[in-house]
Amino acid sequence: MKMILHSLAFLAISTAMLPLFAVAQESFDLLIKNGRIVDGTGTPWYEADVGIVGDRITRVGNLPGATAPQVIDATGLIVAPGFIDPHTHALRGIFDVPNAESALLQGVTTLTEGNDGSSPYPIDRHYADIQDLRISPNWAVFVGQGTIRQRVIGFGLRKASPQEMDRMKQMVRDAMEQGALGISTGLFYVPGSFTSTEEVIELSKVAAEYNGIYISHIREEAAQLIDSVQETIRIGEEAGIPVQITHHKVIGVENWGASIESLRLVDEARARGVDVTIDQYPYTASQTSINALIPQWAQAGGREEMLNRINSPETYSTIKNEVIAKILYDRGGGDPKNVFISRNSWDPNMAGKNLAELTMEAGMEPTPENAAEIVFDIIRGGGATAVYHAIGPEDVDRIMRHPATAIGSDGPVGVFGEGAPHPRQYGTFARILGHYVRERGVITLEEAVKKMSSQSARRLGIHDRGLITEGYFADVAVFDAEEIIDRASFEQPHQYATGMKFVLVNGEVVVENGAHTGRRPGRILHGPGFTVR
């Protein structure tokens, strides 16, 4: 009898230990141990291990006896989802730098292209080119309304005919079926600026049929900011499509503080059921073409017609006065010294110099009037890209704190040493974690990670990414919260962020001990309307 009881007791103990024994014997392809998990939901961090098999996270928890051929000791480090950049111009640079170090060394594992109304087209051919290239981050694109309009109408300042509308709708339909995330507009840029709200609504309805989104560089971000936000909300409401006000900011000193009203409009729209959200980059300067200082009507018809108007006695003075006004009250921030040339292919020596310096080099006083002449000279020479210091810092903080705001860079892939670019391409995500979270406490670490991962994943319709949770793809960023910081500045932009220790894309280590491994496991992430053909 005693022997039977002992046997039963042993059996009971052994049976009770079976789950523990099974856990102890778990094996993975890669194991991240002892990290502080900031999972992307916005909830407080917790300590756990992360087990990865193939390209997926298969276990998150206490895994004391687990084994793996590759183990990352994350003691004292943050383990977060890989960051998703909802707004890039990464087509500029990705074919030169397929490793995309400027993004990966910040923890960015997914890039999106096709913003501001300009995109590759057709989408399927572009995706094939990216697959042939093999890149480190994941990749997805929007279809650009400006690109479509240019191909159908050109740069004309006129309405689309019914036949042209039908053709443009079909192009949007094709792009969505080929895997676009949605439709983007650049209503500030030619030819998007020549598009009526009604035309945008009709094209957006097509993207909505495929569950895509509408993402917009709104028509104006200075004096007409509020009107432009209202237009964007109207497009979402009437087209029945989720909308994102991209790189939301307030330009021009006279307009600073307008984000109070723009965010109120967003809140009111959401309260009545309009699905409107925001993204932003954490800088007080923008970057775009020098043409941003030229009135849009003067750009109608393309470069040659713009030059004819600049050189014509009949229109020269009118254009010059508008350029002066933009220097004083818009992107110039009130002074020519606030406009820096970042890239000039026909005169590289201009890179890093501001309009005031270039005006003095030409033997003139650095007045807005004389700086306008320099702008004309730059355009005559072939154009340039410029950085504009004119964004309100308090607006940056206010927009960042808003719960509907995600983080995006609006930058290309950094080609190290080329030109004098905006530092956002090297620093956006690290700057959020270092400057805005750790140094200033504008938002919490958990909020920041959510804004850089799951918030964009949900908005873009990217499934099974953006969270540290079982079953999701193993896109992971492991960083030191006390060290991570952006190093790129406007004076010295070509500097990689520091503090990102490990980055995984689809389960493969692409950053190890702060250095890129050379691996290129990135994948195409098709949009919700993708149809296999």
pLDDT tens digits, residue range 72-89? Answer: 999 999 999 999 999 999
DSSP structural state of residue 249: -
pLDDT digits (tens, 9 = 90+) for 379-401: 999 999 999 999 999 999 999 99
Confidence of residue 421 (pLDDT cuts 50, 70, 90): very high
pLDDT at 7: 46
Alpha-carbon distance values, 374 to 157, 357, 381, 382, 471 (Å): 27, 10, 10, 13, 57
Strand segments, DSSP code E, in 142-300 are 143-144, 182-186, 213-217, 243-245, 276-280, 285-289
Instruction: Kindly list the strands in the beta sheet with 182-186, ordered across the sheet, starting from the edge strand earlier in the chain.
Output: 143-144, 182-186, 213-217, 243-245, 276-280, 405-407
CB 81 within 8 A of CB 39: yes
Confidence of residue 172 (pLDDT cuts 50, 70, 90): very high
Sequence-distant (6+) residues with CB within 8 A of 438 are 445, 481, 482, 484
Q: At what angle do helices 197-209 and 162-177 cross, to 10 degrees?
A: 30
pLDDT at 532: 76
R_g (Cα) of the chain, nearest Å: 25
Tokens standing for residue 200: 């945008």
Q: Taking the mean position of all CA atoms in its chain, how far away is CA 460?
A: 11
pLDDT at 442: 98
Amino acid identity for residue 520 in this structure: R
Q: How many Å apart are CA 158 and CA 518, to the nearest integer?
A: 49
Q: Please say if the pLDDT value at position 39 is more than 50.
A: yes
Partners of residue 133 on adjacent β-strands: none
pLDDT digits (tens, 9 = 90+) for 468-513: 999 999 999 999 999 999 999 999 999 999 999 999 999 999 999 9
pLDDT digits (tens, 9 = 90+) for 297-333: 999 999 999 999 999 999 999 999 999 999 999 999 9
Q: What percent of the chain has pLDDT over 70?
A: 95
pLDDT digits (tens, 9 = 90+) for 106-132: 999 999 999 999 999 999 999 999 999
Partners of residue 351 on adjacent β-strands: none
The DSSP string of 156-188 is -SSPPPHHHHHHHHHHHHHHHHTT--EEEEETT
51 by DSSP, 3-state: which?
strand
Tokens standing for residue 255: 């307009």
DSSP run (H or E) holding 389: strand 385-389
199 by DSSP, 3-state: which?
helix
pLDDT at 24: 47
pLDDT digits (tens, 9 = 90+) for 256-270: 999 999 999 999 999
pLDDT digits (tens, 9 = 90+) for 193-235: 999 999 999 999 999 999 999 999 999 999 999 999 999 999 9
pTM comes to 0.93
Q: Please say if the pLDDT value at position 18 is more than 50.
A: no
Which of residues 188 and 14 earns the better pLDDT score? Answer: 188
Q: How many Å apart are CA 36 and CA 68, to the nearest integer?
A: 20
Tell me the longest C-alpha to C-alpha distance in the chain: 115
pLDDT at 111: 98
